[in-house]
Structure 1
Amino acid sequence: MQIEYFKLIDRILDLNVAEKTIIVEATVPLQSTIFEGHFPGHPIMPGVLLIESMAQTSGWLLLALMKFERMPFLAAVKEAKMRGFVTPGEVLSVEASVIHEGSGYAMTEARVKVGGKLRSNASLTFSHVPFPNPELRGHMDAEAQRIGFPQQALQL
């Protein structure tokens, strides 16, 4: 996980296009300037970054379902709940599933777990549009390779 670059996913563990589900993993870094202010002497992962990790996880699922032809953008966060602290060094398991698709939008339910215990969950809404430029598409292709996006998912 590279918090300062908003790279909040280390690797895709499971992507099931037929079931519209994904599970990713990320290790919270031991050191980050984020923790200097959040909070001194008691470093915890900001809730907004937990939401972002769920959004990125959901985004990779949507990219797979749309076969990398459209780019999802976070449009709304509903019912986000922080259920416990996430601290430096912990390994996150982030899961997402699509609950609705249509009319240029998609909705997902996502969860962050540590050691099998729920730490955060949210309902997320995304708009999606054709990739706005080749640079963004190239960046997403490189990120897909970095996190182990299963290319066979695009052939289903």
Structure 2
Amino acid sequence: MRLETFQMLDKIETLDRKAQTLVALAHVPRSSPVFDGHFPGHPIMPGVLLLETMAQAAGYLLMALNDFSRMPFFAAAKTANFRAFVEPGALLKAHAECVHLGSGYAVMSTSLTCRGQRVADARLTMRNVPFPSPALEKHVVREGRRLGALEAGTVC
């Protein structure tokens, strides 16, 4: 996880296209400027970054389901619950499941767990659009390979 560049996911652990589910790992860094202000003497991962981690897991699942042909953008959070503090150094598992896919939008059920305990969950709406630029498409495909959503030489 690189908070400053919004690279929230480190590796995709499982991707099941038939079940439309994904589980990704996200290692919260032990130190980051984010923790200097959130909060001095009691550093915890900001809820907005937990939400972004879930949105990225949902996004990579959608890209895998669409063979990386479209770019998902976070459109809405119907619900978002933060159930426990996440401290620096934590290992998170980001879970995403596609609940509905169609007409340019997708509804995703997402959650984060730490040591088997749920720390956050959200129901997200994602908008699927053509890639707005070749540079973004190239970057996203490269990140998909790094994470394991796109194996070299394999089409999802």
1:133 maps to 133
Q: Give the aligned partner of residue 123 of structure 2.
A: 123
TM-score for the superposition, normalised by structure 2: 0.96
Which residue matches 1:73? 73
1:5 aligns with 2:5: yes
Q: Quick one: distance in 2 between partners of 1:2 and 1:141? A: 18
Q: Residue 47 of structure 1 corresponds to which residue in structure 2?
A: 47
SS of the residue corresponding to residue 43 of structure 1 reads coil
Look up the match of 1:21.
Answer: 21
Could you say which residue in structure 2 is the equivalent of 1:89?
A: 89
Q: Number of residues paired by the alignment?
A: 154
The alpha carbon displacement at 1:30 in A equals 0.5
Please report how far the alpha carbon of residue 150 of structure 1 lies from its aligned counterpart in structure 2 after TM superposition.
4.0
Q: Distance in 1 between matches of 2:14 and 2:155?
A: 10
Q: Distance in 2 between matches of 1:105 and 1:25?
A: 25
Matched residue, 2:58? 58
Q: Which digits, 9 at most, give the CA deviation of each residue in 1:95-149, with x for residues without a partner?
A: 0100011111001000000000000000000111111111001001111122122
The answer (yes or no) to whether the contact 2:3–2:32 under 8 Å persists in 1 is yes
Take 1:28 and 1:144, find their aligned partners in 2: how far apart are those partners?
A: 20
1:75 is paired with a residue whose SS is: strand
User: Does the 8 A contact of 2:108 with 2:125 survive in 1?
Assistant: yes
1:3-46: CA deviations, max 9, x gaps? 00000000000000000000000110001000000000000000
Q: Quick one: distance in 2 between partners of 1:19 and 1:143? A: 23
Q: CA RMSD in A?
A: 0.9
Percent of aligned pairs with the same amino acid: 46
What is the alpha-carbon distance in structure 1 between the residues aligned to residue 20 and residue 58 of structure 2? 10
Match of 2:146 in 1: 146
Structure 2: which amino acid aligns with 1:39?
A: F
Amino acid at match of 2:41: G
CA contact (8 A) 1:23 1:94 kept: yes
Contact 1:17-1:153 at 8 Å conserved across structures: no
Q: Distance in 2 between matches of 1:153 and 1:91?
A: 29
How far residue 153 of structure 1 moved from its aligned partner, in angstroms, is 6.0
After TM superposition, the runs of 4+ consecutive aligned structure 1 residues lying more than 2 A away are 150-153
